[in-house]
């Protein structure tokens, strides 16, 4: 079957693949990683796939339609996100006008399947949860001339207009080693140079060493809508084989970014991964998301195996707020982790959020002080972004703290993050402005600027990474929000 996999046009440089989709202040543009894994699975099953990432390829709607028309697919699957869902459904309806089967995918339809399908009028339905198994089952049904109605992990629009038939997903992939290397999908289909996460050297590839997360953080969208609360991992040999493949076949790539929710979910496995990297002779730099619970010895072994930096969700400097978000960590553990990472020689990108139920001006100020005292290499300050399917979304709804009339409210006009929650003493706009204030307070310290300049002077990769992020970031650092 001929299949088009589409990350559709929306706002230029819209990073749909990340946990909080937006046009970012740091120039981040994520690979459409989930869609890329689905493309690999489809090609592995013998299908011919056209893969279009319109934001990365700078394609508007007319140009996207022209490319799809030339390919003339039998089936089109479309990635979606909460902030862009109205746009994405309109694209799906437009592409379904010529009787092509069209399905949407992603966290939003997985959380709200019936409601999301009914936002449109013509497209066939939605694939729910982790993409590969239900998508391959839908394709098989269509190839054999059957309706996919009833396939586990689908929401199908009924032809008689009677509504939507929803069949929940049934289980997750267990043999992740069976999937093709997603890096090979990038190399074959996508403009690798366009993608960037400033936490890693550039250019980079994003891969997954495992899926799911055993932790209970209320706001994290992927475990609650796509991958589940149990960590499933690839074998360390399979992961390192992909790193070696990247090193041997994508010479322009400078780093591998592990997009697992937390690669440290299994500390023993992380040490085994580090040992396998060294044993295999892989030398490419790597970066990962990591929970602030890893011990010094594990971090030391990771650094010896090429781990350059970690992205860590510290989130708050107040234990009562950490408890409210079900983080499962205390601030003292975070301080200890930061000391261990610094001792091991690993750079830390710290993430801090504001607006969890229980947040006040006082707790927000304490978190900013905490961030300044931790003093990670880089930091991100953002208002709580709640998405359907997450506990945080339910929590703020129940507390009467959700302030929105449209899914589009998740973004400002320019595509950067807006805020749709309030606290008892802070409006959504005040939460956004506090994040801007925190960003200025952190990055405009003279000592910090001197430290970054000194490191960039002697480290070519660091210099390129910093300048790439600064080109976009400078537009926002001094700007104050007007609501």
Name all domains of the chain by residue range, CATH numbers in brackets. Answer: 2-129+131-167 (3.40.50.2300), 182-477 (3.80.30.20)
Give the pairing of strands 210-211 and 232-233.
antiparallel
Rg (CA), the chain: 22
257: Cβ contacts below 8 Å, ≥ 6 apart? 197, 199, 200, 204, 205, 206, 207, 286, 287, 288
Ramachandran angles phi, psi of 60, nearest 5°: -85, -175
Distance separating alpha carbons of residues 363 and 397, to the nearest angstrom: 21
Distance separating alpha carbons of residues 482 and 106, to the nearest angstrom: 32
3-class DSSP state of 310: strand
Distance separating alpha carbons of residues 350 and 336, to the nearest angstrom: 14
225: Cβ contacts below 8 Å, ≥ 6 apart? 107, 110, 111, 129, 387, 388, 389, 390
Please say whether the beta carbons of 173 and 34 come within 8 A.
no
Render pLDDT for 236-259 as a digit per residue (tens, 0 to 9). Answer: 999 999 999 999 999 999 999 999
Per-residue confidence (pLDDT) for residue 483, from 0 to 100: 39
Q: Which two tokens stand for residue 209?
A: 């060493």
Q: Calculate the alpha carbon distances from 189 to 51, 124, 182, 395 in Å.
A: 6, 26, 11, 40
The label of the residue with tokens 């979304």 reads 393
Please say whether the beta carbons of 292 and 316 come within 8 A.
no
Per-residue confidence (pLDDT) for residue 461, from 0 to 100: 61
Please say whether the beta carbons of 422 and 428 come within 8 A.
yes
Please say whether the beta carbons of 206 and 33 come within 8 A.
yes
Per-residue confidence (pLDDT) for residue 482, from 0 to 100: 44
DSSP bridge partners of 258? 207, 288
3-class DSSP state of 342: helix
Per-residue confidence (pLDDT) for residue 396, from 0 to 100: 96
Q: Which two tokens stand for residue 400?
A: 């009467």
**Per-residue pLDDT for the chain (483 aa), expressed as one digit of tens each?**
999 999 999 999 999 999 999 998 888 999 999 999 999 999 999 999 999 999 999 999 999 999 999 999 999 999 999 999 999 999 999 999 988 999 999 999 999 999 999 999 999 999 999 999 999 999 999 999 999 999 999 999 998 777 999 999 999 999 999 999 999 999 999 999 999 999 999 999 999 999 999 999 999 999 999 999 999 999 999 999 999 999 999 999 999 999 999 888 899 999 999 999 999 999 999 999 999 999 999 999 999 999 999 999 999 999 999 999 999 999 999 999 999 999 999 999 999 999 999 999 999 999 999 999 999 999 999 999 999 999 999 999 999 999 998 999 999 999 999 999 999 999 999 999 999 999 999 999 998 988 877 676 766 665 555 555 555 555 555 555 543
Helices (H), 256-388: 267-280, 296-304, 319-324, 331-344, 361-374
The label of the residue with tokens 């590839």 reads 205
pTM over 0.85: yes
Please say whether the beta carbons of 104 and 135 come within 8 A.
no
174: exposed, middle or buried (Cβ count in 10 Å: 0-12, 13-18, 19+) = exposed
Q: Calculate the alpha carbon distances from 17 to 8, 54, 67, 440 in Å.
A: 12, 13, 22, 27
Q: Calculate the alpha carbon distances from 15 to 19, 60, 95, 255, 262 in Å.
A: 9, 15, 22, 19, 20
Distance separating alpha carbons of residues 409 and 19, to the nearest angstrom: 17
């Amino acid at each position: 079957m001929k299949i088009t996999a589409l990350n559709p046009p929306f706002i230029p440089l819209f990073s749909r693949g990340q946990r909080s989709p937006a046009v970012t202040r740091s120039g981040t543009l994520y690979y459409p990683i989930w869609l890329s894994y689905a493309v690999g699975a489809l090609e592995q099953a013998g299908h011919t796939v056209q893969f279009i990432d319109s934001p990365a390829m700078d394609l508007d709607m007319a140009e996207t339609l022209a490319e799809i028309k030339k390919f003339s697919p039998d089936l089109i699957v479309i990635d979606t996100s909460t902030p862009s869902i109205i746009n994405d459904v309109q694209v799906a309806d437009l592409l379904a006008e010529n009787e092509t089967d069209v399905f949407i995918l992603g966290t939003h339809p997985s959380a709200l399947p019936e409601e999301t399908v009914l936002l449109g009028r013509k497209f066939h339905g939605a694939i729910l949860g982790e993409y590969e198994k239900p998508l391959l089952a839908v394709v098989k049904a269509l190839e054999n001339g059957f309706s996919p109605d009833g396939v586990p992990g689908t929401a199908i629009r009924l032809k008689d207009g009677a509504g939507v038939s929803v069949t929940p997903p049934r289980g997750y992939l267990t043999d992740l080693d069976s999937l093709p290397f997603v890096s090979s999908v990038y190399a074959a289909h996508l403009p690798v140079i366009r993608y960037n996460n400033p936490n890693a050297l550039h250019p980079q590839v994003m891969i997954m060493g495992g899926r799911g997360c055993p932790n209970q953080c209320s706001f994290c969208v992927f475990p609650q809508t796509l991958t589940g609360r149990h960590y499933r991992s690839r074998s360390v040999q399979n992961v390192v084989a992909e790193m070696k493949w990247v090193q041997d076949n994508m010479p322009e790539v400078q780093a591998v970014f592990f997009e697992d929710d937390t690669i440290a979910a299994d500390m023993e496995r992380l040490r085994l991964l580090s040992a396998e990297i060294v044993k295999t002779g892989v030398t490419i730099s790597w970066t990962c998301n990591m929970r602030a619970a890893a011990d010094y010895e594990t971090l030391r072994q990771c650094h010896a195996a090429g781990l350059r930096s970690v992205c860590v969700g510290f989130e708050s400097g107040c234990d009562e707020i950490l408890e409210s978000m079900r983080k499962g960590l205390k601030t003292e553990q975070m301080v200890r982790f930061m000391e261990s990472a610094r001792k091991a020689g690993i750079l830390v990108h710290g993430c801090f959020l504001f607006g969890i139920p229980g947040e006040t001006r006082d707790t927000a100020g304490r978190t900013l002080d905490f961030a300044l005292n931790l003093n990670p290499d880089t930091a991100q300050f953002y208002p709580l972004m709640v998405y359907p399917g997450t506990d945080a979304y339910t929590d703020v709804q129940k507390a009467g703290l959700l302030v929105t009339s449209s899914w589009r409210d998740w973004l400002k006009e320019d595509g950067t993050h807006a805020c749709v929650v309030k606290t008892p003493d802070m409006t959504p706009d005040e939460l956004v402005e506090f994040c801007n204030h925190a960003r200025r307070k952190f990055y405009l310290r003279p000592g910090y600027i001197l430290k970054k300049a000194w490191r960039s002077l002697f480290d070519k990769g660091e210099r390129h990474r910093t300048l790439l992020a600064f080109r976009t970031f400078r537009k926002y650092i001094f700007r104050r929000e007007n609501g």
